[in-house]
Structure 1
Amino acid sequence: MKKILFSIFTFIFIFNLNAQTNLYENPEFDEIAKTHKIIAVVPFKTQVKLRPKQMKDMDDEKLHRLEKAEGEGIQTAMYSWFLKRKKRGKLKNLEVQDPKVTTALLKRKNINYDNITDYTPQELAKLLEVDAVISGEFETNKPMSEGASVALGLVLGFWGSTNSAIVNMSVHNAEDGVLLWNYNKKVRGSIGSSPEDLINILMRKASRRLAYTKSN
């Protein structure tokens, strides 16, 4: 049974891009990015919107744990995306802070998923001792992570349903807190899609406008 479930959910559903895309790039981002040596990605604040019928089998505590896991999953996926670019030589002179280090440094200041939005990106960047912080919000009507999808599929009957997700991510400068880059996009996928799939699709075109990964 486990092997069957594993086979089913290792299938990756390709996201369909929605025409609605909003991308902002600070005109000075290219020049500012040249001075950056290290950046960090913090957990994305997540909202999983379930239907009332589905919420009957999901209490507030379970939903909170699910949303937290999704937000951390996006953080890890974004970190992995940058690491792959670095391996290909597309991140010259730029380091990306390991999420484990980010979490540990924030924890020392009693900052966690629940209260991270109480702090400005500039404050977070200074605490993490990085030159810029990538943060964002993630909204979906079903979870993206495979484990959560399997669990909810069994409990709430999500099998075969299409889901949608909206991701809004930003890059803020540590020195002055200025917004350098913002990308807001809606995508559609299916159960079994992962945070890695989501980030890969989102960044496929957006990376061409991201100063850290632009071709010279």
Structure 2
Amino acid sequence: MKKLLLSVLFLSVIGLVQAQTNLYENPEFDKIAESHKIIAIVPFKTQVKLRPKQMKDMTTEQLQRIERSEGESIQSAMYSWFLKRKKRGDLQNLEIQDPRITTAMLKKQNIDYDNIMDFTPKELANFLEVDAVISGEFETDKPMSEGASVALGLLIGFWGNTNSATINMSVHNAEDGVLLWNYNKQVRGSLGSDSENLINTLMRKASRRLAYTKHSKNDDDN
């Protein structure tokens, strides 16, 4: 009886973190990636889906600030993820543009978080002088970044780990704007307490199919 209960509990936990994953890989990605020397990550457009009860104590402007903070946090977490793999030797001859440089270069083109979706990935990559650009959308029912999470907690008293998150991440080639890779993943359950933990969770398996990275045994732990 005890074994049966443990089995039911185990299956319940698995169901809690059940994920939907869609992955597209351009057949030429490996070949094209060989010529790439530098890539950039732009802020992810974010939607924080709050309940009506939570929204009644928040203005539209406050929510927009939280979503901007979250999108920039995902950008930084993705940058850190790549840097860790570069340090481990999993990135060959590839540089990752510092998000601060990315922000500054986009600002010179009058591009920011609010209007970045008005530009194609090819345009963004060319403005940033990189070989490819990583962009995406992120949706969550609770912010993961420290600043956004604290702001939300102070505004409406909403704390705790997120219950669901969806990330849609794309890699586009700068030369012709071709989509090289797209990863869409939805996860339900406790995803940790910050953006870096979230990105590690979401990218753990996807990295094995990303042309820029060599899979390492450490990916199961980081």
Letter in 1 for 2:25: E
1:156-185, Cα deviation, whole Å (9 max, x unpaired): 233446521100000000000000000000
Say which is worse superposed, 177-186 or 146-155, in terms of deviation.
146-155
Cα shift at 1:191: 8.3
Letter in 2 for 1:182: N
Distance 2:68 2:149 in 1: 14
1:179 is matched with: 179
The TM-score normalised by the length of structure 1 is: 0.88
* Structure 2 residue 38 is matched with structure 1 residue 38: yes
- Seen in structure 2, the aligned counterparts of structure 1 residues 160 and 43 have a Cα distance that, compared at 3 Å, is closer
- Seen in structure 2, the aligned counterparts of structure 1 residues 34 and 192 have a Cα distance that, compared at 3 Å, is closer
Identity across the alignment (%): 78
Q: What secondary structure sits across from 1:81 in the alignment?
A: helix
Alpha-carbon contact 1:54-1:156 (below 8 Å) kept? yes
Distance 1:190 1:149 in 2: 15
Alpha-carbon contact 1:133-1:173 (below 8 Å) kept? yes
Alpha-carbon contact 1:149-1:191 (below 8 Å) kept? no
Alpha-carbon contact 2:90-2:213 (below 8 Å) kept? yes
1:71 is matched with: 71
Larger radius of gyration: 2
The TM-score normalised by the length of structure 2 is: 0.85
- Seen in structure 2, the aligned counterparts of structure 1 residues 165 and 28 have a Cα distance that, compared at 3 Å, is same
**CA-atom RMSD in angstroms:** 1.8
Alpha-carbon contact 2:144-2:162 (below 8 Å) kept? no
Cα shift at 1:56: 1.2
Distance 1:54 1:65 in 2: 16
Alpha-carbon contact 2:142-2:161 (below 8 Å) kept? no
Cα shift at 1:117: 0.5
1:110 is matched with: 110
1:55 is matched with: 55
2:130 is matched with: 130
Letter in 2 for 1:54: Q
Letter in 2 for 1:27: P
Q: What secondary structure sits across from 1:122 in the alignment?
A: helix
Distance 1:76 1:100 in 2: 9
Aligned length: 201
Letter in 1 for 2:87: K
Letter in 2 for 1:45: K
Say which is worse superposed, 189-198 or 61-70, in terms of deviation.
189-198
- Give unmatched runs, 5+ long, in structure 1: 1-15
1:118-162, Cα deviation, whole Å (9 max, x unpaired): 000000000000000000000111111123223323442334465
Cα shift at 1:205: 0.5
- Seen in structure 2, the aligned counterparts of structure 1 residues 188 and 146 have a Cα distance that, compared at 3 Å, is farther
Distance 2:68 2:162 in 1: 22
Say which is worse superposed, 162-171 or 104-113, in terms of deviation.
162-171
1:63-92, Cα deviation, whole Å (9 max, x unpaired): 010000000000000000000000001111
Alpha-carbon contact 1:145-1:192 (below 8 Å) kept? no
- Give unmatched runs, 5+ long, in structure 2: 1-15, 217-222
Q: What secondary structure sits across from 1:90 in the alignment?
A: coil
1:187-212, Cα deviation, whole Å (9 max, x unpaired): 23548621101110111110000000
Q: What secondary structure sits across from 1:171 in the alignment?
A: strand
